[in-house]
Structure 1
Amino acid sequence: MEKDNFFQQELSAINDFTFSNEVANVFDDMVSRSVPFYIEMQRMTAELAANHAQSGTNLFDLGCSTGTTMILMDKLVDEHVSFIGVDDSEGMIHKCREKLNSFNLRRKIDLEVADLAQIVPVENASVVTMVLVLQFIRPMHRLKLIKGIYDGLTENGVLIIVEKILTEEKSFNREYIDYYYDFKRRNNYSELEISQKREALENVLIPYKTSENITMLKEAGFSEVEVFFRWYNFSGIIAKKTP
């Protein structure tokens, strides 16, 4: 796993963050040092997916990045469930394919390059996962995407999302962000790295409140929605399509 030094040197100009080939190469280190309880989130996602996956259906990992979620789910999910990983970054899909090939997985996994803001490739799915993905979709496209996922789910199918979030009460937002930056410092990110990445993400990562995500899920058709994880400004939600 290559070390994330992406923002270590001072940059003359900060461009919007993209999931480039360079980011893909260091992504696993980047996300493990930048997201609190990242492995625990992934483990919980895999457990929930295994509990709701239906034999003979598909499982879609939207925004699959380097394949970590699918690798963990493969150990637990019924082997008669087909996996499809989707990402809009060619670099991520390439890294994902390399990583998947290095593991002794129980099933063949199909990988697709697609822009989720334009196309929703979900069909005959009992589980859809989106781990730290929806926050990068422009807000104007999110409800359409969620409705497309809902339509592509089987009866009793579930959508599992993990997101960076805003607080419900504005007064706590700054406090939680400070705790988050303390977390990054504990993982050996410098003040320069924290500052430059924050600026690069400013117009790219647009979080919602948990309540806004729940409202959107229900508007899309989900009747059962539950929070399964929370750490300051990160949250995990499962939504079920019931008859």
Structure 2
Amino acid sequence: MPPSFRATPDTTVSHESDRLFAKPLAQPQDFVFNEDVVRVFPDMIKRSVPGYPTIVENIGVLAAQFAQPNTHLYDLGCSLGAVTQALRRHVRADNCQVIAVDNSAAMVERCREYLHGQDSMFQELLPVEVVEADILKLQFQPTSLVALNFTLQFIPREQRPALLANIRQALVPGGALILSEKLRFEDEQEQDLLTDLHIAFKRANGYSELEIAQKRSAIENVMKPDSLETHRQRLLDAGFTKVLPWFQCLNFASLIALP
């Protein structure tokens, strides 16, 4: 039996509060994953994405059902390595390695620190390699599990099909892609309602109206969500045979795509 883990060891993760958009800005710049964001990212993501801790921990649980011996597990757009840590907590397949990839140097540096902290606390974890790279240019090794946890939405839409096709080609039989994304809705009333509810979620988590508005201005040109129907069709077009939603909280969802 695997040892008992807490979802995120308190000794390794920053607890600095997200106040990046608390003061009025003349013109919010496009959102980037720089050192300022890295410093507050755990607080930012928890207060901004409904269900995020549940998604992350259960990616590890789901991965354990799909991970196969002698394959790689990919965490694409790994940020600070939360999904990678979940994979290492739950997967026990022999001779597996986690490849955690991000194109932000600041994220990669801090991710390595956090994973080192996890290594120091627990034994018999899967080996992991943290890579600073563009996931669009990766040469994938045979893989049984790929996680794209709120990553695809930051990639230009015209480049998303090729990435998914590359992942599909690398997946071994019985493997899976887990894709988590913010959703947009085709129905205008649904879109407005879920947007309002998401704002209420952020307000309930302590964000001011100024913070909410400025963050929205900073990220709207960078993050481009798609509808659930668009995701499903794109995955099928890339060669996946089944697409199963397994989680949704407000306008955030996670899917399992099977080869």
- 1:111 — aligned with what? 130
Alignment of 1:61-80 (within 5 A): 61-78=75-92, 80=94
183-192 or 95-104: which moved more?
A: 95-104
What does 1:76-115 align with in structure 2 at a 5 Å threshold?
A: 76-78=90-92, 80=94, 81-103=96-118, 104-105=121-122, 106-115=125-134
Residue aligned with 2:18, SS: coil
Partner Cα separation in structure 2 for residue 79 and residue 155 of structure 1:
15
SS of the residue corresponding to residue 70 of structure 2 reads: coil
CA contact 2:75–2:83 (8 Å) conserved in 1: yes
State the alpha-carbon separation in 2 of the partners of residues 5 and 135 from structure 1: 24
Q: Match for residue 52 of structure 2?
A: 38
Which runs of 5 or more structure 2 residues have no equivalent in the other structure?
Answer: 1-14
| 1:24 maps to which of 19, 24, 38 | 38
Alignment size in residue pairs? 240
5+ long unaligned stretches in structure 1: none
**Which of 86, 107, 122 in structure 1 is aligned with 2:140?**
122
Counterpart-to-counterpart distance in 2, 1:147 and 1:83: 20
What SS does structure 2 have at the residue aligned with 1:166? coil
RMSD: 1.1
> How far apart, CA to CA, are the structure 1 residues paired with 2:222 and 2:131?
22
Instruction: Indicate if the aligned counterparts of 1:158 and 1:240 stay in contact, CA closer than 8 A.
Output: yes
Question: SS of the counterpart of 1:24?
Answer: helix
1:79 shift after superposition: 5.1
CA distance 1:100–1:79, change in 2 (3 Å): farther
Structure 2 distance, partners of 1:121, 1:17, is 28
**CA offsets, 1:214-237, max 9 Å, x none?**
000000000011000112211110
Q: Identity of aligned pairs, percent?
A: 36
Q: Could you tell me how far apart the structure 2 residues matched to 1:68 and 1:174 are?
A: 30
- Range moving further from structure 2, 106-115 or 123-132: 106-115
What pairs with 1:48-197 in structure 2 (closer than 5 Å)? 48-78=62-92, 80=94, 81-103=96-118, 104-105=121-122, 106-117=125-136, 119-197=137-215
Q: Residue type matched to 1:100 in 2? A: L
TM-score, with normalisation over the residues of structure 2?
Answer: 0.90
Distance in 1, matches of 2:141 and 2:90, equals: 21
Distance in 2 (CA, whole Å) between partners of 1:101 and 1:113 is: 16
- Whether the aligned pair in 2 keeps the contact of 1:120 and 1:145 (CA below 8 Å) is no
Question: Partners of 1:6 and 1:136 in 2: how far apart?
Answer: 20
Runs of 4+ residues over 6 Å off in structure 1: none
Amino acid at match of 1:89: S
TM-score between the two structures when normalised by the length of structure 1: 0.96
The farther-off stretch of 71-80 and 145-154 is 71-80
CA contact (8 A) 2:168 2:239 kept: yes
